Chains A and B, each alone.
Chain A
Amino acid sequence: MFELGGIFEAIGKWLNGFLPPVWVTIISAVITGLAVLGFLSLLALFLVWWERKISAHMQQRYGPMRTGWHGVLQTIADGVKLLQKEDLMPKDADRIVYFWAPIICFGAAFMAYLVVPFGKGIIVQDLNIGILYIIAITTFTVVSLLMAGWASNNKWALLGGMRSAAQIISYEVPLSLAIVGAVMLAQTLSMNGIVSAQAGGFWHWYVFREPLGFLVYYIAATAEANRTPFDIPEAEQELVAGFNIEYSGMKFAMFFLAEFVNMFTVSAIAVTLFFGGWQPLFSFLGFIPSWVWFMGKSLVSVFVLMWFRWTYPRIRVDQLMNFAWKFLLPLAFLNIILVGFGIVVFK
């Protein structure tokens, strides 16, 4: 009951009943696209509000309280405000690049959700190279940040863009290597396949098979999502606001939402790879819908990311690089070796 996967299948069957297959494909593509977009927009709105509330309560404040119950509509109000704002462009900006940067940033964040398994059967397209696809598509973010930094024609923004390029490319390496561990264990690149490989109780989750891999992944993912302590491309205190210093109005909102969507993406991947995806904690808890499990686990992971942000200072750019190349990368290799040994010994 309450399994959403069935609904999508039912709609597909119903459409197939009276429409030619081409139309079914087109209509279902549009519907899924809109559904994902709608879901992500709602999610981003929720996450922005949630982060504000968490940070507020960690700092013994209330956070937004006026708009709606405990300020739930605050993000919408902010969005409306940003929409009404004048869309400024610096005089000497590279107009085309400046225009496209936020769109690419948001698009990349959005595209990653094609292969995220939200629940049993709730996946847009179960690609057999799903995890590879995600790694490839999230890298677009760095391109957009670099574009934004360059096109703004501002020294601070350029520094931010350069920092982001250096950071994200460096952290992509340990991130991918940490993912390799999970792929080795599951023997598949498909997201659904990885989830099903972890079925049957929490002790089958890969976080207990390769804790080191999870640690490396999570640290690298924090950097990947530009969250404190690795938020050096933005670094308000040093670079004022980094790459998005010249952006205003809706373009800024797109960067802002993309950041939160990215944060959910890395959490969703962490859940899929290391926490059994939509699998329940114990098999007798299977009556709870799978998408509830998935969202619950992901939001816990998001909470931890927020918790980091409101606790730690920011690391410096050269230390960040040192950390990636000299610490995380060897750990990631060590993880692969250990996983390999484990597979050979316990098979």
Chain B
Amino acid sequence: MSLVRQTTNGIYNLILGLAVTVKHLFKHAITLQYPKERWTMPERSRGTVVLLSDTETGKLNCTACLMCEKACPVAAITIEREKNPETKKFEPTSFTIDMGICCYCGLCEKACNFSAIKLTGKYEMSIYDKSELIYDMDFLQKLGRDVKYEKRKRVVKKTAVKKATAKPKTTEARAESGDKKAEGTSSTKDDGDVKEKPKNETEEGKE
């Protein structure tokens, strides 16, 4: 008797499975025909890193404070800088990112106080030669030309409650750097031995 019940049960469940697949046969496909159709990447999408420039002057926002270089866990960012004799401010002379080792974590964007570096929704950056993955400053600036962004306001005091829609990191990063300034610049020193980089000339107080 149990054999009969088992068999009928089994056949019922086999048919149940067939019903599920045939039900899906008449549903619309959910996949995308990739090169013809493309996803719209969400606003926060973390793809290729770009350097942002000022919308009015067209100059890079980067002030070569080396914060992103220090924040990078894989040391993909290399910055060389020079002091502009006129303005007495640092300017980057070379800014390279090795996208081959970049892990797209977004810590550089979080570390930046000047809206100079951003991870964008661009993702089709495949090339044949690995060395072409090392992006230089001009190329990064070119990539960042059409990227919309909000320039961070110079708010020193943090706001208490954030709206869900606002980009919370903006104010936080600001507030964080505010905290840090209060602490003094000595706290940046320990980052130094991650990479052999000049560590004492971080121009935090410049802003």
**Is A311 in contact with B33, judged by CB distance below 8 angstroms?**
no
Does B192 count as interface, using CB distance less than 8 angstroms? no
Which residues of B1-56 have CB atoms within 8 Å of chain A's CB atoms?
Answer: 14, 17-18, 20-22, 24-31, 33
Prevailing SS type, chain A contact patch: loop
Inter-subunit contact B20/A60 (CB<8 Å)? no
Kindly provide the distance from the CB of B65 to the nearest chain A CB, expressed in whole angstroms: 49
Chain A nearest Cβ from B29, distance in angstroms: 5
Are A58 and B24 in contact (CB-based, < 8 A)? Answer: yes
Assuming the contacts A311-B17, A311-B18, A311-B20, asked whether A58 and B31 have C-beta atoms less than 8 A apart, the reply is no
**In whole angstroms, how far apart are the Cα atoms of A56 and B21 in the complex?**
11
B171: min CB distance to chain A, Å:
42
**Chain A contacts with B in 17-67, Cβ cutoff 8 A:** 54, 56-62, 65
Give Cα distance in the complex from A310 to B25, angstroms: 11
Contact of A307 among B21, B30, B31 (CB under 8 A): B21
How far in angstroms is the closest Cβ of chain B from A166? 24
Q: Which A48-90 residues have C-beta < 8 A from chain B?
A: 54, 56-62, 65
Other-chain contact of A57, B17, B18, B25 (Cβ < 8 Å): B25
One digit per residue, 1 when the CB lies within 8 angstroms of any chain B CB and 0 when it does not, for chain A 303-316 equals 00001101110000
With A310-B21, A312-B14 as contacts: A60 and B33 at CB distance below 8 Å: no
Nearest opposing residue in chain B for A62, CB measure: B29
In the complex, are the beta carbons of B28 and A60 less than 8 A apart?
A: yes
Q: Within the complex, which residue of A54, A62, A310, A312 is in contact with B31, where a contact is CB–CB below 8 Å?
A: A62
Contact B33 A307 (CB under 8 A): no
Complex: A60 Cα to B21 Cα, angstroms: 10
What separation, in Å, do the CA atoms of A61 and B24 have in the docked complex? Answer: 10
- Chain B residues with Cβ below 8 Å from A59 are 24
A56 (CB) vs chain B CBs: closest residue: B29
A59–B24 alpha-carbon span in the complex (Å): 7
Contact for A60 among B17, B18, B31, CB less than 8 A: B31
Q: When chains A and B are docked, how far (Å) is the Cα of A57 from the Cα of B29?
A: 7
Query: With the chains together, A56 CA to B31 CA distance in Å?
Result: 10
Residues 279-312 of A contacting B (Cβ, < 8 Å): 307-308, 310-312
Measured CA separation A62–B30 after assembly (Å):
8
* Residue numbers in B under 8 Å from A54 (CB-CB): 25
Bound together, the chains give a CA A65 to CA B17 distance in angstroms of 27
How many chain A residues sit at the interface, stated as a range, is: 10 to 19
- Chain A residues lying within 8 Å of B30, measured Cβ to Cβ, are 60-61
Closest to B14 in A: A312
Contacts of A310 in B (CB 8 A): 21
| A239 shortest CB reach to chain B, Å | 24
Taking CB atoms, residues of chain A closer than 8 Å to B25 are 54, 57-58
The interface residues of chain A lying within 8 Å CB-to-CB of B27 are 60
B76 to chain A, nearest CB (A): 36
Q: Tell me which residues across on chain A come within 8 A of B31, comparing CB atoms.
A: 60-62
Give CA–CA (A308, B21) in the complex, Å. 9
Q: Please state if B21 and A311 are interface contacts (CB–CB under 8 Å).
A: yes
Known contacts A58-B24, A59-B24, A60-B24; decide if A307 and B29 are in contact (CB<8 Å).
no
Complex: chain B residue closest to A312, CB-CB: B17
**In whole angstroms, how far apart are the Cα atoms of A61 and B32 in the complex?**
8
- Which of chain A's residues 219-263 have a Cβ closer than 8 Å to chain B? none
Known: A60-B28, A61-B31. A307 touches B22 (CB 8 A): yes
* Residue of B with least CB distance to A66: B33
A302 to chain B, nearest CB (A): 15
A105 CB, nearest partner CB in chain B, Å:
29
Give Cα A57 to B30, complex, Å. Answer: 10
Closest-by-CB residue of A relative to B16 is: A311
CB distance from A154 to the nearest CB of B (A): 33
Query: In whole angstroms, what is the CA distance A57 to B21 when docked?
Result: 9
The smallest beta-carbon distance between A339 and chain B, in angstroms, is 21
Q: Chain B residues with Cβ under 8 A from A58's Cβ?
A: 21-22, 24-25
Q: Contacts of B18 on A, CB cut-off 8 Å?
A: 307-308, 311
**Is A65 a contact of B21 with CB atoms below 8 Å?**
no
Interchain CA distance A54-B24 in the complex, whole Å: 10
CA–CA, A307 to B22, complex, Å?
8
Q: Which of chain A's residues has its CB closest to B18's CB?
A: A311
Measured CA separation A58–B14 after assembly (Å) = 16
Closest Cβ–Cβ distance, residue B24 to chain A (whole Å): 5
Decide if A60 touches B22 in the complex (CB within 8 Å): no
Within 8 A of A (CB), among B93-143: none
Instruction: Give the docked Cα–Cα distance between A57 and B26 (Å).
Output: 7
A226 to B78, CA, bound (A): 58
15 residue pairs bridging A and B, Cβ less than 8 Å apart: A54-B25, A57-B25, A57-B29, A58-B21, A58-B24, A58-B25, A59-B24, A60-B24, A60-B27, A60-B29, A61-B30, A62-B31, A65-B33, A311-B18, A311-B21
Top 9 nearest A-B pairs (CB, nearest first) are: A311-B21, A58-B21, A311-B17, A62-B29, A61-B31, A60-B30, A58-B25, A57-B25, A60-B29
Q: A60-B27, A307-B22, A310-B21 are in contact. List 13 more A-B contacts (CB 8 A).
A: A54-B25, A58-B22, A58-B24, A59-B24, A60-B24, A60-B28, A60-B29, A60-B30, A65-B33, A307-B21, A308-B18, A311-B18, A311-B21
